[in-house]
Every structure is written in structure tokens, then in C-alpha cells.
A and B are shown apart, each in its own frame.
Chain A
Amino acid sequence: MIKKIVFSALFILFITGCTKDDICTEETPKTPFLIIKFKSKVNPLLPKEVSNLTVTTIVNDENIDLYKSETRDSIAIPLNTQSNTTNYLLIKGNTSTKDGNTDVVTFNYQRDNIYINRACAFKTIYRDLLTLLEVEEDNWINEIEINNSLIENEQNTHVTIFH
């Protein structure tokens, strides 16, 4: 009897010695990306691809491309977790030969840091999302609509851009 108890105790010690708390796994829900869908300005129900779309943000005076000359009707982009504002350059028709049409969109939001676990620490969720399109002579973006001002997961579209 005693032997059995001791053996079980040692066995449990052995298996709990190395636990998955020590590693932050990929499956752990992390800080959500902002999900943007592109739709037609003529027929607001229809998804509409943006041809040769490049999505760029400037971090420490350096341009970082999240998408480079891709034709697509939705994007997922990160928001800065250290600031309440993130600027994105959405460039339509950007190819190796053409610069394309650049529209600047500013995302303003409030941040809440939510505890995940020991290994992954915290994630950020964003609320009170506001968008601002820099108006210029030839904006390719017609209108920006916020579908969900609370960004806590990536299951729903947060922003729809009509063009």
C-alpha cells in the first residue's frame, strides 16, 4: 500500500516537473489583428478586391510592408500595442513599375492589456476604435465604416473600406 502511494507520488512529481506553462505556444490566443474587408462603393454588399495592394506602416522612420502588391478583398493588420494610434499607408495599384495611389488611414483606439498565462504574459485588446482617412485630391478609398469598435478577436470584421 505504502509502496504504491510512494510510487504514484514520485510519478506525479516526475510528470509535473516539466509543464507546458513554460512555453508560449502558437495556439494561445494572442493580441488580435485588425480585420479589414474591402467592398464596392457602388454595391456596398459586394466584396471588391483591391488590385496590387501594398499595406505599409512606418515604425521608427522605417517602412514595413505587411502586404506587398497583393490583390485581395480583406487584410489583417496589427495595431501598435504601445500607442493609441497606428497609421497605415494603403497603396492601390502598387507594382514594381508603378507607385500606385497612396491613402493614409489613421486608427485611434484605447488599449486594455489582458493577462493570458505565465509563459505568454499579456495580450492587448482594443476598444473605441476610430478611423481617419487623410483627405487628398484622389483618394481611392470612398468611405470607411467601423463594424466593430471592440477588437478582442479575429472572428469578425472590424472595419469595412468601400472603394
Chain B
Amino acid sequence: MNKILTSLFFIKVLLLSCYCGFAQEIERTINDTITKNNKYGLRVGADLARPVISLFDENFSGFEFMVDYRLTHRFYIAVEYGFDQDNQTESNLTASTKGSYFKIGGDFNAYNNWVGMNNAIYVGLRYGFSTFDQNLEEYTIYTGDSTFPGTMLIDPSRYKGLTAHWAEFIFGIKTEILTNLFLSINLQLKNKFSEDVPENFNNLYLPGFNKTNDYSDFGVGFGYGVSYLIPIYKK
């Protein structure tokens, strides 16, 4: 049916090329009835939250690129790549983490758009992978006793080439603010299932996973992204 209509349309365009205005009118009418003006393409963007936090927080710097590709009406494949440098200045130790991460997965748009709109309220899943260095700079010894004066011991340890893997659930909203330009905000809930733990230390931060927790494998995060859709075709 669609093909026939399309063929008819093109024939009409060819035949009635002088009636351009009229032809466009027809195109709109046809597309409206069979909802064929959904844009499909590659959406590329970057996270705004990380560079903004980098400006205000001297202990953090990071950047993230995000790409998604629309597969079907509701499904997108999504990939994020980024790098983080985080300094941990705890009351009893200072350490730092530096590395990059890669996340791949999919998004499901649960929002029913009005015709011609491209907004999204979506949920997504990701597999996250990170390679990083964890460095311990200085620490105190916990004695629970004040007989001997305790000081920060400067005892640097370098743990290089560590890796971590996690699964991530994402909930977010995307809005088309200008033609093909999107703003998005998302919340991320992560659960790590594998990591290289430095000997006699721990990973206090994992790039992409964010702050780790001593008592659970959960991590949280958020993103505030801007992205541009490169339309490839309409359907």
C-alpha cells in the first residue's frame, strides 16, 4: 500500500512538476494519514553536565560523547564514550582515578508523540566498560586512640590498567528544542558486576560508573545532554 502510494506520489510529482505547491500539499496529506514523517538517523551529542561540573569542581573533570541510532519506531541503539578524572579528598585519605569508559545498549521511547514531534520519555539499558588508573596519594592510620600523634602518611601507590564492568538502567527525557537539535536529561542507576580491585586498596571511583560504595555494588549518575540529529531517511 505504502509503496503504491509512494510510486503514485512520485509519478504525480513528475507529471505535475509545474504545480509544485500543489504537489507538496499532497505529500503532507499522504504523510499525515500514514504517519510517515518520523525522522530516522544518527543523533550525535555531548553531555553538558560533566564539563559544567568540571568548571566548578576542581576535583573533577570529564567529558562524554553520546550517539544513538533509531532502529524502529520506538527502539534506538545507543553508545556513550567518555573520560573522567576524579580526585577523592576524603577526611582520612586522598586518591584519584583517571580513565575512559564505553557504554553500549538501547533506549525504548515510551512517549507517544503527536504527529511531527520527536520528543522522548525513554528507558534504556547499557553495558558499561571502563579502563582506568587508580592512585592512592596519602592516608591516615585508623587507631581509635590518640596516644601517638597520627598524621597523613604520604605513601603513593599506582594501580594502572584496571577494568570494570557494569549494567546500567537509564531513565530520561529528550526534547527537540530546534529542528533536529535535542536537549536531554537522564538519570542512571548502575550495578557493577566485575572490577579489578587494587591490592590493599579499593576503587573509590570508576569512570562512567561514578562514585563507588563500600557496602554495595550500586552506582548512580545523571546526564544533561545536547545532541543533533543527522536525518538519514523518513519513515
Chain A residues proximal to chain B, CB less than 8 Å = 2, 5-6, 9-10, 12-13, 16-17, 19-21, 24, 26, 28, 30-31, 33, 57, 59-60, 64, 66, 78, 80-82, 113-124
Query: Which one, A5, A60, A80, A123, contacts B142 given CB within 8 A?
Result: A123
Given contacts A113-B155, A121-B140, contact A19 B92 (CB under 8 A): no
Given contacts A2-B110, A21-B213, A121-B139, contact A80 B220 (CB under 8 A): no
| Majority secondary structure, A binding face | mixed
How far does the alpha carbon of A10 sit from the alpha carbon of B186 in the complex, in Å?
11
How near does chain A come to B83, taking the closest CB pair, in angstroms?
Answer: 23
How near does chain B come to A45, taking the closest CB pair, in angstroms?
Answer: 31
A-B residue pairs, 9 tightest by C-beta: A121-B92, A121-B139, A31-B143, A121-B93, A120-B142, A81-B141, A30-B144, A117-B214, A21-B214
Closest to A32 in B: B143
How far does the alpha carbon of A116 sit from the alpha carbon of B204 in the complex, in Å?
12
| Stretch from B6-14, B60-68, B146-154 forming part of the interface with A | B146-154
A118 in contact with B142 (CB, 8 Å): no
How many chain B residues sit at the interface, stated as a range, is 35 or more
Q: List 22 A-B contacts (CB under 8 A).
A: A10-B187, A13-B220, A16-B216, A17-B220, A19-B213, A21-B215, A31-B142, A57-B147, A78-B148, A81-B148, A81-B150, A82-B141, A82-B153, A113-B141, A113-B200, A115-B202, A118-B88, A118-B90, A118-B202, A120-B142, A121-B92, A121-B142
Interface string of B117-133 (1 = CB under 8 A from A): 00001010000000000
Query: Which one, B147, B169, B215, contacts A64 given CB within 8 A?
Result: B147
Given the complex, which residues of A lie within 8 Å of B143, measured CB to CB?
Answer: 30-31, 78, 81, 123-124
How far does the alpha carbon of A85 sit from the alpha carbon of B102 in the complex, in Å?
50
How near does chain B come to A38, taking the closest CB pair, in angstroms?
Answer: 20
How far does the alpha carbon of A33 sit from the alpha carbon of B147 in the complex, in Å?
11
How far does the alpha carbon of A6 sit from the alpha carbon of B171 in the complex, in Å?
7
B139 in contact with A2 (CB, 8 Å): no
A26 in contact with B200 (CB, 8 Å): no
How far does the alpha carbon of A87 sit from the alpha carbon of B72 in the complex, in Å?
76
Closest to B138 in A: A121
Query: Which one, B93, B155, B169, B201, contacts A9 given CB within 8 A?
Result: B169
Interface string of B143-184 (1 = CB under 8 A from A): 111011111010100000000000001010000000000000
How near does chain B come to A7, taking the closest CB pair, in angstroms?
Answer: 10
Closest to B121 in A: A2
A13 in contact with B141 (CB, 8 Å): no
Given the complex, which residues of B lie within 8 Å of A57, measured CB to CB?
Answer: 147
B148 in contact with A80 (CB, 8 Å): yes
